[in-house]
Structure 1
Amino acid sequence: MGWFRSVSRGLLVVAVLLAGCAGGARSPEAVTGAGAAGGRGPLTFVTAGDLTDYLAPLVAEWNAGRPAEPVSLVELPDSADETRAQMLSELRSGSSRFDVLNIDVAWTSEFAAAGLIAPLDRERFELAEFLPPVVETATFRGRLYAVPYVTNAGLLYYRKDLLDAAAERPPRTWAELARLARTVAPRHGVGGYAGQFLPYEGLTVNVTEAIQSAGGAVLHEEGARVAVDSDAARAALSFLAGGVREGWIPAEALRFKEEESKAAFEEGRLLFLRNWPYVYADAARPGSKVAGRFEAAPLPGPYGPGTSVLGGSNLAVSARSLHPATAADFLAYLTSERVQRQVLTRGSLPPVRASLYTDPELVTAHPYLPILRESVLAAVPRPKSARYDQVSLAVQAVAQDVLALRCSPEEGVRRLTRELAAIPPLPAR
């Protein structure tokens, strides 16, 4: 899932538990940041594990300048499912313990529809300075419910040395990728292509990208209409299943998440890899067998460059926060140009501010930024739905059977259409 990736390392856990329970639901009025009685005071900021330890210094800087409104950082496990479950449990209990939440972009609609996060005042934030597609991930039913904080788009990593030896260029279409994976990869004893094909959120992302690259969609109208019964969906599943059947997608790729697929590429076992931008810095480090021998390109599609889904995270304010005015200020701080620069340089995470992608100093240090900018600008959010968790599980289950060659792409599309249509609407609040 990009920001919520699985990485095997110890977590810094700042365990700060602030007791308290709101006496009732907050007003649906948008959080503006304007001072009001009870609107200012200490905050608790909850996030998945900070894998690069960049957040604590940012919080410390805020606290030094706002001693009357300090922020306490709570880090949950870096597993996306566990983080989401703990956040939902706390919010649904009626607790006011969490004020600001760093949530995966795919959860914004679900949290908003359930009334767990408060709408925000657009005028309070410099949204015009952000890459335009990222703002769409923070809206639901026409209102802003979060502020984009980190973005992400899938990239195609490729062995430049092997393509150069074959006098080939990186593929721009599925047909070119399949041809190179079938012909160039075997000459060097490496696998052709892999993504994240284990049945988890990563599989939903890979399948959704393929469908969108072919011009289709999983859902329309924020989940109100199932759209997956299309030639685009059949073409997407046929492309992936064909790769497995023909062998240019290795069988082991059906067990890959982000980290397993990254390791296979860094160990020199793949010609092509679909993954997030964080792989670039990791694969370029000393010790990687592909350091200095790879590059990144936009994802291919059936007729030309494809369409990634947007990954990343958004910042939201709990609907039961006792200090929403301070929370809005904190969101503005974390999305300021200066802090966003540190999100990239210290956190190794793609920022949402457009100007940073053309900054000469940053591009020199992070050569993938121009390609990532191109990919983000062409990307679209994952299917918006108040029942996104069930949508994702349905996509995973069907795609797993198609990729395992247990059912045909045509059968998979029919089954997924039925399963998505059967997901019940969210109960009225």
Structure 2
Amino acid sequence: MRWMRAAGRGLLVLMVVLTGYVASGAHADDGTSGDRGPLTLATAGDLTGYLGPLLEGWNRGHPGEKVTLVELPDSADETHAQMATDLRGGDRGRFDVLNIDVSWTSEFAAAGWIRPLPRDRFPLTSFLRPVVDTATYDGRLYAVPYVTNAGLLLYRKDVLAAEGVPPPRTWAELEHDAKTIAPRHGLDGYAGQFLPYEGLTVNAAEAVYSAGGSILGDEGARVTVNSAAAREGIGFLARGVREGWIPREALTYKEEESKQAFRDGRLLFLRNWPYAYALASAPGSPVAGRIGAVPLPGPSGPGRSVLGGSNLAVGTHARHLDSAARLIAYLTSEPVQRQVLVRGALPPVRAALYDDPALVRAFPYLPTLRASVVRAAPRPESPHYDQVSLVVQAVVRDAMTGHETPEDAVRRLARELAAVSDR
């Protein structure tokens, strides 16, 4: 299991690869025709080992449609590159049904790599509403939500309790506590995922969204980042490094490095995905029983997370369309979604599971996570998302390292994103 793009490992990237191919015109466009046959499911790394048992259940019930699990590189950027290269190969490629990061739906749909899906084959009304939006492009359904995610603020509740203060709701409170309380307890203040990779795009977008801004509009046709809100959001991150309550070491963090720093007891606050809470709370963790989770703070109250997760899509040249749709329905069924959470600590897309008393007891952050998911916004939607993300990473990195002021960074970001949009 891996943790998708919004966080390098924040979410599982998996791909279902079908074993055979036919000419693209051999099946009806509604995706309901086509024979059944064996499948290959490829993943960028099942870190908790949850997926194997789920597929064993499928294989027992579908002997003629057995799924073989294949693991791919653990990096989201490498996974994207491999998928894009394969899909550009048309009917010579291997990857036919894919669980894509939510931010890739527009890109893959616009490129013609994935086919529209019939809404009536999947229980979309049972899903959390925002996750369905990530699976559509140009008004059509191009994927089915599989897992979702939203960033949370993890904190040392024992430290805050000793100081008699609640967890922060605003950036000002976070800054104050990170600058004053953390040093008294031998801790660094705050960290996220600030290495120049997809995680930095997520953290930057969350800062801009929390301040009330946006980056792109109209599915990438308009650049909207040149705003006071964007300057405030990027300024928040740059100020943290400049003033020291974001340690410079955090400029090297991806999900795993930041999670480990928090788990080792070196951080007071951490922005990460819920899996980091689950692993930091596990038996043997130095901070087990001493951590809490709240929504990300913003300038004047709760902020806004980027919506993470992954969607299942069917490649344009897939052959076994009925088997692919049936596997998607299986992986998004309520019993399997429950196991995705219990075995894999991946947030499910089924809304009812967030109200299940037994699950809430086992995963106390679920109510906070649901509220964060409902309030979350997708990453900038664009047919050129990979280029958009690279631009955001480079510019925000320069602002955080002090090579560019937040004001200059936002102006440069607007110029470079406009150049990408014009391609």
Residue in structure 2 matched with residue 3 of structure 1 by the alignment = 4
- For 1:212 and 1:402, the matched residues in 2 are separated by 17
Per the TM alignment, residue 53 of structure 1 is displaced from its structure 2 partner at its CA by 1.8
Q: Which amino acid aligns with 1:407?
A: E
Contact 1:113 1:386 in 2 (8 A): yes
Measure, in 2, the Cα distance between the counterparts of 1:51 and 1:287. 17
After superposition, where does 1:209-288 map in structure 2 within 5 Å? Answer: 209-288=206-285
Q: Secondary structure, in 3 states, of the residue corresponding to 1:217?
A: coil
Q: Which amino acid aligns with 2:83?
A: M
Alignment equivalent of 1:53, drawn from 24, 28, 49: 49
C-alpha distance after superposition, 1:318-362 (max 9, x if no partner):
110011122111111100001000101111211110111110111
Report the TM-score, using the length of structure 2 for normalisation.
Answer: 0.94
Question: What secondary structure, in the 3-state scheme, does the structure 2 residue paired with 1:223 have?
Answer: coil
The residue type equivalent to 1:420 in the other structure is L
Secondary structure of the residue aligned to 1:68 is helix
Measured on the aligned residues, the alpha-carbon RMSD in Å equals 2.1
The answer as to whether partners of 1:53 and 1:347 remain within 8 angstroms in 2 is yes
Q: Which runs of 5+ in 2 are unaligned?
A: none
Count the aligned residue pairs.
417
Distance (whole Å) between structure 2 residues aligned to residue 190 and residue 28 of structure 1: 60
Please state if 1:91 is matched with 2:87: yes
* Inter-CA distance 159–243: structure 2 relative to 1 (3 Å threshold): same
1:145-156 matches, within 5 Å, as: 145-156=142-153
- In the alignment, the residues of structure 1 paired with residue 84 and residue 27 of structure 2 have an alpha-carbon distance, to the nearest angstrom, of 20
Separation (CA, whole Å) in 2 of partners of 1:372 and 1:275: 12
Taking the TM superposition and a 5 Å limit, the aligned residue runs for 1:15-414 are: 20-24=20-24, 29-31=29-31, 33=32, 36=33, 38-94=34-90, 95=92, 97-414=94-411
- The one-letter amino acid paired with 2:326 is D
CA contact (8 A) 1:150 1:312 kept: yes
Cα gap change, 1:25 to 1:300, in 2 (>3 Å)? farther
Q: Which runs of 5+ in 1 are unaligned?
A: 8-12
Contact 2:18 2:38 in 1 (8 A): no
For the residues of structure 2 that align with 1:389 and 1:167, how far apart are their CA atoms? 44
Per the TM alignment, residue 6 of structure 1 is displaced from its structure 2 partner at its CA by 5.9
- Cα deviations across residues 90-134 of structure 1 (Å, max 9, x unaligned)? 221123533321111111111111111111111111111111111
Structure 1 window deviating more from structure 2 (85-94 vs 393-402): it is 85-94
Greater alpha carbon shift after TM alignment, 194-203 vs 279-288: 279-288
TM-score normalised to structure 1 length: 0.92
Per the TM alignment, residue 66 of structure 1 is displaced from its structure 2 partner at its CA by 1.8
1:229 CA displacement:
0.5
C-alpha separation between the residues in 2 aligned to 1:115 and 1:385? 14
The range that moved more, 265-274 or 49-58, is 49-58
Contact 1:387–1:425 at 8 Å: present in 2 too? Answer: no
CA offset digits 1:247-274 (Å, max 9, x no partner)? 1111111111111111111111111100
> Which AA in structure 1 matches 2:412?
R
Q: Which residue of 2 aligns with 1:10?
A: none
- Percent identity for Structure 1 against Structure 2: 65
| CA apart distance, 1:26 | 6.9
CA shift for structure 1 position 22: 3.8
User: What is the CA-CA distance between 1:393 and the residue it aligns to?
Assistant: 0.3
Question: What is the distance in 2 between the residues matched to 1:48 and 1:143?
Answer: 27
- Structure 2 residue 418 is matched with structure 1 residue 417: no
Q: State whether residues 243 and 249 of structure 1, in contact with CA within 8 Å, keep that contact through their aligned partners in structure 2.
A: yes
C-alpha contact 1:219 1:384 (8 A) present in aligned 2: yes
Is the Cα–Cα contact under 8 Å of residues 148 and 309 in structure 2 kept in the other structure? yes
SS of corresponding position for 2:190: strand
Instruction: Tell me the SS of whatever aligns to 2:158.
Output: helix
Aligned equivalents of 1:42 and 1:283: distance in 2? 38
Distance in 2 (CA, whole Å) between partners of 1:141 and 1:287 is 48
| Contact 1:105/1:137 (8 A) holds in 2 | yes
